[in-house]
Structure 1
Amino acid sequence: MEKNISHLPHKASPVLVKQASIFADLPVRLIEDFQQEFQLNEWHKGDYFDCALLTQRFFVVIEGQVEIKQSNPETGREVTLDMLYAGDCFDLIVLLDDQPHDVIVSPLTTIKLLSVKLETMRQWLWSYPEFNQQFMPYLAQKMREKEELASSLILHNVTTRLSRIILKHINKIKFYISGKEDEQQHIAKGLNDETLARMSGTVRQIVNKQLQRWKKDGILDKKRNQLIIKDVEALEKEAKYTQTLPNAALMNYQPQNKR
């Protein structure tokens, strides 16, 4: 049975506000002003979220992972519109056009969020140039991601789409463990076959077949609700990027505390 969302009984601190990329570089005086308007929320996996709240409050993820979906009630088919991580915010569409947005907000883990009245968020964008300068690049980034998603569904096959989705996922969370001979093995949590099928516009059976092939080739391993990426470079080749490999910095990153 679905549970209702819960609210922590205290307001957000400036430290929490700075964890969101759109606020991180703002002057201290603005962050101190903004934090007084924020409420700290905590949701758990399986919690029910009424999308009508998106027309009332603006949410920023500061911890955990959230999937944004849409579904066809006639067929039951679902598609993933976005996967949100710490620092991401939603729903940008409602913020811009003030119209209802029929989406399914699905926490994949226990998550913590900052929320503020939607009208307050709009007022900040209109009143503070410093904030607008922080927000617009993030908005452009999300628009590019949507463009890439749409073009990928048409221009690339399932193998390419899947590899790009996984690479984007591990590049955002940057979670790794130490493997054989001290090699880094990147962990992609929350990406089971069904989730990957929703994200790549295909069905679970095709996703499973591709993941099994990569497992046989030593590119990755599967364990329950997570993928262990053993060969990022091989996955980059499957992604067929024509520009500088976006995960190059991740591949060369040396962790201070390996897990």
Structure 2
Amino acid sequence: MDNTIGLPQRANPVLVKQATIFAGLPEKLIEDFQQEFQLHEWQKDDYINSNILTKRFFVVMSGQLEIKQSNADTGKEATLDMLYAGDCLDLMVLLDDQPHDIIISPLNTVKLLSVKLETMRQWLWTYPAFNKQFMPYLAKKMREKEQQVSNLALHDVTTRLGRIILEHINKIKFYTGREEEAHHHHLINGLTDETLARMTGSVRQVVNKQLQLWKQADIIDKKRNQLIIKDLEALEREAKYTQDLSNTPLAKS
């Protein structure tokens, strides 16, 4: 099912302010902006035609999107990006106005705001306050791409896989269990071995073997498409990870 055509629902200012790139803008500007937005809801396994990205600019409000490319000859797929609440789709088309041949894959129910692409460009050109708020997000995504390339070139699969899991935790900030154990048990849903392999630049068998080793070491617990991180510090050591997650807030399950 292709759910990319604009739905009749319109966004209200409260909803628009929930999007990171709009949150700090003056109320009057947000009220003006919200009149241009439409609401969308994509379900897991929906077919989303990437041609819509040449017409509309999307901001993820909730859920997760995997952005992929595939080799038609081999069938091999690679994950280009994983989008979470607050992320934008698609920066490349916004900047160069060229089609972007990607596969848009919702991993669960995804809710989005969209606006005409040309309107989004006009906002960036016309409103310095919006441009100033948008640029740090653009820089953040560029740094993420730099880190992704660096990880692929400089680190082994164990390190890359550990970093991907930790980055996922850092972005979704979803912990499960008792509050006093908030920094020991972290729940990850929906990332299959195949998805993790695409994100890692490896294959499912190698990823599964590493996950099983971590399970045997009591670092994680693995049940179907669910990972429970039991020893965050051990996983950070495996990933050679330096970013501190200790201040990330607990979310009740």
Give the TM-score band, short-chain normalised. Answer: over 0.9
Q: Distance in 1 between matches of 2:179 and 2:109?
A: 31
Residue type of the partner of 1:248?
S
> 2:206 matched to which residue of 1?
206
Structure 1 position 179, deviation (Å): 5.6
> 2:72 matched to which residue of 1?
73
Matches within 5 A, 1:156-235: 156-178=155-177, 182=181, 184-235=184-235
Structure 1 position 50, deviation (Å): 0.8
Residue type of the partner of 1:247?
L
Structure 1 position 8, deviation (Å): 4.2
> 1:118 matched to which residue of 2?
117
Structure 1 position 232, deviation (Å): 1.1
Residue type of the partner of 1:110?
T
Structure 1 position 161, deviation (Å): 0.2
**Cα offsets for 1:114-138 (capped at 9, x unmatched):** 0000000000000001001110000
Residue type of the partner of 2:175?
Y
Q: Is the 8 A contact 2:40 2:114 kept in 1?
A: yes
> 1:246 matched to which residue of 2?
244
The structure where strand makes up a greater share of residues is 1
**Cα offsets for 1:124-156 (capped at 9, x unmatched):** 000001001110000000000001111110100
Give the one of 2, 5, 8 matched to 1:4. 2
> 1:132 matched to which residue of 2?
131
Q: RMSD of aligned C-alpha atoms?
A: 1.6
Q: Distance in 1 between matches of 2:76 and 2:216?
A: 30
Runs of 4+ in 1 over 6 A off after TM superposition: none
Matches within 5 A, 1:12-161: 12-161=11-160
Structure 1 position 246, deviation (Å): 3.4
Q: Distance in 2 between matches of 1:179 and 1:74?
A: 49
Q: Distance in 2 between matches of 1:198 and 1:15?
A: 36
Q: Is the 8 A contact 2:218 2:230 kept in 1?
A: yes
Q: Distance in 1 between matches of 2:211 and 2:69?
A: 25
Structure 1 position 222, deviation (Å): 1.1
Q: Distance in 2 between matches of 1:190 and 1:182?
A: 23
Aligned residue pairs total 251
Q: Distance in 1 between matches of 2:252 and 2:112?
A: 27
Q: Distance in 2 between matches of 1:180 and 1:95?
A: 42
Q: Distance in 1 between matches of 2:25 and 2:222?
A: 41
TM-score (norm 1): 0.93
The residue matched to 2:176 in structure 1 has which SS? strand
Q: Which ranges of structure 1 fall in alignment gaps of 5 or more residues?
A: none
Are the structure 2 counterparts of residues 88 and 154 from structure 1 closer, same or farther at C-alpha, using a change threshold of 3 Å? same
Q: Distance in 1 between matches of 2:187 and 2:83?
A: 16
TM-score (norm 2): 0.95
Structure 1 position 216, deviation (Å): 0.7
Q: Distance in 2 between matches of 1:106 and 1:187?
A: 21
